[in-house]
A and B are shown apart, each in its own frame.
Chain A
Amino acid sequence: MSLKQTPLYKMHQKYGGKIIDFGGWALPVQFTGIIKEHHMVRQKAGLFDVSHMGEISITGPEALEFTRYLVTNDVKQLQDNQIIYTPMCYPDGGIVDDLLVYKISSENILLVVNAANLDKDFAWIKEHAFSGVEVENLSDSYAQLAVQGPEAERILQKRSDTDLGSIKFFWFKPNVKIAGVQCLVSRTGYTGEDGFEIYVSPDKAAYLWEKILETGGEDITPIGLGARDTLRFEAKLPLYGQEMDKNITPLEAGLGYFVKLQDDDFIGKEALAKQKQANPERVLVEFEMVDKGIPRSHYQVEKDGINIGWVTTGAHAPTLKKAIGLALIKQQYNQPGEEIDIIIRNKAVKARIARGIFYSKNTKSK
């Protein structure tokens, strides 16, 4: 099967990206090296191609009401041009996907979903659509670039007449010109740093990519999927397929803040309300290695030789310079300071449950 290419595929080749198969997409895992790219984003700025992400539009008079019914977070509190993060659940509380909801207006909502879940999400949303609501997969109409890091605003501002400082965290502007190109710009990202995500017509994406790199000069560099993962993980941002999936609820995944059980009905509400009342049996915890070793996804977690869960993501965190992880474990073992064993190549390696050990985000607060 041939891999799908984003509109920036030629740019990845031009800038020396090491191309891999990422869920059917040909995308760069790295350019100059994962750790170097990671530090660039934390210290200066990085440019990401995230065009593989899916965009689904919901339009019609009932668009907002329908979106509220689809997701766990209260999208009805959004103002125009505001964004919210939310899980989307099955009736049993398991997660279909996690996504961003962009409210263009009450009758025009844009959902940004994970690439690997796009087809599943689109089918799910269509299946539940209220009459009079139109659901469209617009993924092929958008390329998406992310500019992330403390220098992101300064670099982009050089090429735009719009005051980017006026776009607050989790807000967007639909008609921003960057280097003369019409874009939708949001102050969002997946790195724990300040920055922007830019939605642009596919035929303008490569031009914009080059202009942003040219403008940033030494202060910006292309970033691959490898550093995207270390950056999001180090900032404790969850990833679908690891921290959550159809068998894990948002309450178990530590996403209770994004589940609003008051007032309106939504898919999964009953199951989640019940689970909240009974306290979830499993919980996502932070841990750090005590003995040497690197925890990785799916490694089992034991306490006194008894299996209590598994690692959802683990890594050597490049900025924190230590091996840390997230694990989904049985609730009764969730005690900060508690020693647990991570099973690495059939050996029990000591780790400790902790709290607040992840990287503190530098995103602009609301």
Chain B
Amino acid sequence: MEVPKDLLYTTEHEWIRVEGEQVYLGITDYAQDQLGDIVFVELPELETEVITGDAIAVVESVKAVSSVYSPVSGTVVESNIELEDLPELLNEEPYSNHIAVINISDPDELEDLMSPADYEAFCAEQE
């Protein structure tokens, strides 16, 4: 299972890439493997104000429906509309295909996220 070193992670199996005041959000390799074939992604609307822990997107595989929670507070500034027609991209390249971009309102919240090493240890515990 792949866990890139340049990203942050959540216990909900999401990855976060920080670029200035914006965070890119996606699901991890572990998450896509657990879900199986992904057939639908419900994306957040632009300009949605979110607080940490809000369900902002839904990923549906053949067998399961899974919410994606915002790891930070802020405003949704981009949704990856490519996933509307090609949801399977989340299976194929989970780290190259984000779900949304959020403008963060409180950068301190990033300190609550997991490092790659912590996330790997967390996944190992799940087995």
Contacts and interface: CB of A to CB of B under 8 A. Distances in A.
A148 B62 CA distance: 21
Size category of the A interface is 10 to 19
Interface in A311-360: 315-316, 318, 323, 345
B62 A315 contact: yes
B42 to A, nearest CB: 8
Contacts of A315: 62
B4 interface: no
Interface in A26-75: 29-30, 33-36
Interface residues of B, number: 11
Contact of B36 (A30, A293, A294, A345): A30
Interface string A230-272: 1000000000000000000000000000000000000000000
B40 A226 contact: no
A293 B87 CA distance: 12
B78 interface: no
A177 to B, nearest CB: 37
A316 B39 contact: yes
B39 A294 contact: yes
Given A33-B36, A35-B37, A294-B40, A226 B63 contact: yes
Contacts of B36: 29-30, 33-34, 226
Nearest to B37: A35
Nearest to A29: B63
A87 B62 CA distance: 28
B58 A226 contact: no
B96 to A, nearest CB: 20
B49 interface: no
B65 interface: yes
A230 B62 contact: yes
Contacts of A230: 62
Contacts of A34: 36-37, 62-63
Interface string B46-66: 000000000000101011010
Nearest to B91: A33
A36 B65 CA distance: 20
A226 B65 CA distance: 14
A103 interface: no
B84 A226 contact: no
Contact of A33 (B37, B40, B42, B60): B37
19 contacts: A30-B36, A34-B36, A34-B37, A34-B62, A35-B62, A36-B37, A226-B63, A230-B62, A292-B40, A292-B42, A292-B84, A293-B40, A294-B39, A315-B62, A316-B39, A316-B60, A316-B62, A318-B62, A345-B58
